[in-house]
């Protein structure tokens, strides 16, 4: 297959590209190379260093005529979406809509959208949260993801392109870094703090939970979606909630040393509890998470120390 991966030089994208190349696919990466310090290039992939909203996208698709698109690139910060919801919507709705249209026009028959279970379900009282048709996201970021899923559902009847939305839990693992803004997932932030010798900050009392999917498992979910014709919306999670305190404790355990910890007030717009029921992923795609939190955390810790740790 010829597959376009937006955000293909980033964290999840680069792992996906490596796996797609390894299994004999032709891969085109669309990535604007702006967010993180490190981007990851697979020498066998064709890389276009542009945003997925770039004008030249239509020509690239017309020339390449890919079979499938995996849309990973996005404005990914919940906090930034609260500060500037217009920018968030510009990227995650409007430019993403344009991408679908361009793909459909170029004869692409599969569109895989990486959505967000945590941001869409918000603080849902039922945990693990099953696949829900309706939700009230707590942030503009979540609203935009939810909206785009709806657009894709509507397009099923209009375009010859089969869309599927994967509502991911929180993905973690090697190559996950702090963004240029200093933001990132909680593990990347904690690891960076440890390396910099600064105290780790927990927002809230440490009891907030997340469902962490190891990046290799996240990649398997996308590969399973590429291999199937299933349309609609699917949950991709482990069904297990890990508290922020547990994340800190696990990292400390791996690190072998207690690092200073401070608690600060919980940030508005952030989800408190998020655990995703993986039943639909299992039923629709035959997917399930295989890597435990501890095992994944060890791999991420090792990668982080190797790339950002102090050499001595």
Is residue 53 part of the contact set for other proteins (CB under 8 A)? no
Q: Enumerate residues 97-136 that contact other proteins by CB under 8 A.
A: 97-98, 101, 133-134, 136
Is residue 231 part of the contact set for other proteins (CB under 8 A)? no
CA gap 249, 301 in Å, rounded:
13
- Least separation in angstroms between CB 100 and other proteins: 9
Q: Enumerate residues 79-98 that contact other proteins by CB under 8 A.
A: 82, 85-86, 89-90, 93-94, 97-98
Segment near other proteins (CB under 8 A), from 4-12, 151-159, 196-204, 245-253? Answer: 151-159
Q: What's the half-sphere exposure (Cβ side, CA atoms, 13 Å) at 289?
A: 26
Segment near other proteins (CB under 8 A), from 34-42, 142-150, 174-182, 195-203? Answer: 142-150
CA gap 69, 161 in Å, rounded:
10
- Least separation in angstroms between CB 130 and other proteins: 14
- Least separation in angstroms between CB 24 and other proteins: 35
CA gap 140, 102 in Å, rounded:
25
- Spatial contact of 134 and 83, defined as CB atoms under 8 Å apart: no
What is the x/- site pattern for other proteins, positions 268-287, by CB under 8 A?
xx------------------
Q: Which is nearer to other proteins, 78 or 251 (CB)?
A: 78
- Least separation in angstroms between CB 11 and other proteins: 26
Q: Enumerate residues 20-49 that contact other proteins by CB under 8 A.
A: none
Q: Pick from 172, 164, 177: which is nearest to 223 by CA?
A: 164
Is 136 one of the annotated active-site residues of the chain? no
Q: Which is nearer to other proteins, 136 or 196 (CB)?
A: 136
Q: Pick from 174, 238, 210, 183: which is nearest to 10 by CA?
A: 174
Q: Which is nearer to other proteins, 37 or 272 (CB)?
A: 272
Q: Residue 151 phi/psi, 5° resolution?
A: -55, -45
Q: Between β-strands 242-243 and 68-71, what pairing exists: parallel, antiparallel or unpaired?
A: unpaired
DSSP 93-158: IIIHHHHHHHHHHTT--EEEEEEEHHHHH-S-SSSSBPP-S----SSHHHHHHHHHHHHHHHHTTT
Is residue 201 part of the contact set for other proteins (CB under 8 A)? no
Q: Residue 185 CA to chain centroid, in angstroms?
A: 11
Catalytic residue (one of 33, 87, 121, 141): 141
Is residue 154 part of the contact set for other proteins (CB under 8 A)? yes
Active site amino acids:
141
């Amino acid at each position: 297959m010829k597959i376009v991966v937006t955000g293909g030089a980033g964290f999840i994208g680069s792992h996906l590209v490596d796996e797609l190349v390894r299994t004999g696919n032709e891969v085109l990466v669309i990535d604007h190379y702006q967010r993180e310090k490190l981007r990851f290039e697979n020498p066998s992939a064709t890389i276009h260093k542009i945003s997925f909203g770039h004008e030249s996208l239509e020509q690239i698709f017309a020339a390449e005529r890919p079979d499938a698109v995996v849309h990973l690139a996005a404005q990914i910060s919940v906090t930034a979406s609260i500060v500037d919801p217009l920018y968030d919507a510009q990227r995650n709705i409007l430019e993403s809509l344009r991408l679908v249209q361009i793909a459909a026009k170029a004869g692409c028959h599969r569109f895989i959208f990486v959505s967000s279970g945590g941001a869409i379900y918000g603080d849902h009282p039922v945990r693990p949260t099953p696949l829900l048709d309706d939700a009230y996201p707590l942030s503009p970021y979540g609203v935009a993801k939810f909206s785009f899923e709806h657009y894709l559902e509507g397009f099923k009847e209009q375009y010859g392109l089969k869309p599927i939305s994967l509502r991911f839990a929180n993905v973690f693992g090697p190559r996950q870094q702090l963004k240029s803004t200093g933001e990132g997932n909680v593990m990347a932030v904690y690891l960076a703090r440890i390396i910099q010798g600064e105290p780790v900050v927990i927002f809230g009392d440490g009891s907030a939970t997340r469902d962490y999917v190891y990046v290799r498992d996240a990649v398997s979910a996308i590969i399973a979606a590429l291999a199937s014709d299933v349309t609609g919306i699917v949950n991709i999670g482990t069904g297990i909630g890990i508290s922020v305190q547990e994340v800190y404790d696990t990292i400390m355990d791996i690190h072998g040393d207690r690092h200073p910890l401070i608690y600060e007030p919980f940030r508005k717009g952030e989800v408190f509890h998020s655990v995703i029921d993986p039943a639909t992923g299992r039923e629709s795609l035959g997917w399930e998470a295989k890597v435990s939190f501890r095992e994944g955390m060890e791999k991420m810790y090792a990668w982080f120390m190797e790339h950002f740790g102090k050499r001595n």
